[in-house]
């Protein structure tokens, strides 16, 4: 993919550093209820694939938020570090942890039908509803 670059990021206190070798610079936002409860608002992440190395692993707390996903945060400062798809080990990392800000493009939003009415992004993006997200992944799993 053309949009993949190396990304280096860190949590607020610096106890955990992240090195991603194939970070997609397209930013996705999730409006689902779990993401909004986790972070207090929509979750903006970049797909870092499977090649992600964390320094300071002793500071990472992992929470199994569903059968298929795990969420990680720093035990010292509470910064959210990743949303991990357990099957396949694909990391989605909050975009705010990285410094390459001018290289990111906000391109897609998921669970758009779960977004509460009190906010909306002005960016023009590709959007998927909950049903579209689940059927998209079901198709991939069943993939011929």
Q: Which of 20, 23, 35, 97 binds Zn ion (CB under 5 A)?
A: 35
Stretch that binds Zn ion, among 19-27, 67-75, 121-129, 133-141 (CB under 5 A): 67-75
**Of the ranges 1-9, 22-30, 94-102, 136-144, which one interacts with Zn ion (CB under 5 A)?**
22-30
Shortest Cβ 24–Zn ion spacing (Å): 17
Q: How far is CA 23 from CA 19, 53, 55, 91, in A?
A: 9, 12, 17, 10
Q: What angle do CA 122, 138, 108 make, to 5 degrees?
A: 15
Contact 44, 95 (CB under 8 A): yes
Among 68, 77, 129, 137, binds Zn ion (CB under 5 A): 77
């Amino acid at each position: 993919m053309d949009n993949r670059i190396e990304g280096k990021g860190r949590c607020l206190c610096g106890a955990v550093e992240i090195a991603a070798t194939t970070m997609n610079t397209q930013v996705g936002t999730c409006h689902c209820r779990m993401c909004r409860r986790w972070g207090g608002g929509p979750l903006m992440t970049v797909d870092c694939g499977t090649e992600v190395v964390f320094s300071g692993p002793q500071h990472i707390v992992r929470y199994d938020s569903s059968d298929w996903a795990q969420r990680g945060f720093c035990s010292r400062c509470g910064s959210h570090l990743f949303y991990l798809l357990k099957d396949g080990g694909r990391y989605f990392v909050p975009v705010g942890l990285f410094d390459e800000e001018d290289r990111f493009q906000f391109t897609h939003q998921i669970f758009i039908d779960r977004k509460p009415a009190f906010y909306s992004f002005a960016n023009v993006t590709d959007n998927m509803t909950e049903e579209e997200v689940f059927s998209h992944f079901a198709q991939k799993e069943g993939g011929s």
